[in-house]
């Protein structure tokens, strides 16, 4: 598969041959599912906590005597049936994280990126350098490249001007080729790679 490389003005500036193998058929689909589920699970804090009957503050005295009052039997002020009492089987802090092998993550990234390539959702630019950290300048570049909707910008390294210029754009995220993950590839409408960033990803997937 060959991809067209554009400059920052949207003009053709060459072509690039995809060098990593593209999965055929449904191969890798399960890996994509596993990686996305694990990614979302690892983002959960798991810090929800409730108090059981034994943890609620209060006295251990019996509220009233067992017989003779005409009221229902009661043995504790901390009963789950009472307001302010303990919670039965409530949540406790726990870890939701899942671990996956490196090979599974690479298979999933290769599958996800290949599907986005086949769908025409990947745009390559020869270089993405902003003279100033101004959002207006970045918006102009995106307009020239005819990019609309949510966008993931993948650069070859950390660019301070690019990071600052993208902060005011709620549907734009910036990452690097070495940090790109499967969830990011699937989340956005379009993927904008610099040529060097795409080559970084290719080296990971070979």
| pLDDT exceeds 90 at position 26 | no
Report the pLDDT value the prediction gives residue 19, as an integer from 0 to 100.
87
Query: Using 50, 70 and 90 to split pLDDT, how confident is the model at 127?
Result: confident
Which residues does 114 contact at the CB level (< 8 Å), separation at least 6? 22, 23
pLDDT score for 61: 94
Domains of the chain: 102-205 (3.40.1370.10)
Average pLDDT value for residue range 164-188:
94
Angle between helices 102-118 and 29-42 in degrees, nearest 10: 110
CB 183 within 8 A of CB 39: yes
pTM of the model: 0.83
d(C-alpha 90, C-alpha 82), whole Å = 15
Query: 189: closest CA among 167, 168, 172, 169?
Result: 172
99 and 54 Cβ atoms separated by less than 8 Å: no
Q: How confident is the model at residue 123, as a pLDDT?
A: 94
Where residue 88 falls (left for φ over 0; alpha for ψ -120 to 50; beta otherwise) is beta
What is the chain's mean pLDDT, rounded? 93
Which tens digits make up the pLDDT trace of 41-92? 999 999 999 999 999 999 999 999 999 999 999 999 999 999 999 999 999 9
Mean pLDDT value of segment 170-177: 94
Q: Are 205 and 165 within 8 A, CB to CB? A: no
Calculate what percentage of the chain has a pLDDT beyond 90: 83
Q: What's the rounded mean pLDDT across residues 178-201?
A: 95
> At 182, is the pLDDT very low, low, confident or very high (cuts 50, 70, 90)?
very high
């Amino acid at each position: 598969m060959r991809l067209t490389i554009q400059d920052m003005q949207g003009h053709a500036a060459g072509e690039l041959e995809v060098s990593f193998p593209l999965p055929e058929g449904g191969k890798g689909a399960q890996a994509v599912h596993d990686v996305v589920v694990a990614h979302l699970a690892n983002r959960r804090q798991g810090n929800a906590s409730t108090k059981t009957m034994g943890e609620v503050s209060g006295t251990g005295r019996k509220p009233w005597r067992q017989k003779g009052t005409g009221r229902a039997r009661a043995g504790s002020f901390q009963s789950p049936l009472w307001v302010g009492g303990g919670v039965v089987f409530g949540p406790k802090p726990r870890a939701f994280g899942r671990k996956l092998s490196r090979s599974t993550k690479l298979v999933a990234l290769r599958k996800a990126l290949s599907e986005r390539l086949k769908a025409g959702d990947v745009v390559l630019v020869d270089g993405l350098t902003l003279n100033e950290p101004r959002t207006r300048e970045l918006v102009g570049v995106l307009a020239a490249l005819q990019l609309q909707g949510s966008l993931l910008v993948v650069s070859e390294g950390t660019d301070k001007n690019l990071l600052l210029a993208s902060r005011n754009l709620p549907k734009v995220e910036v990452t690097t080729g070495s940090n790109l993950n499967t969830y990011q590839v699937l989340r956005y409408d379009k993927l904008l790679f610099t040529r060097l960033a795409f080559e970084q990803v290719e080296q990971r997937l070979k």
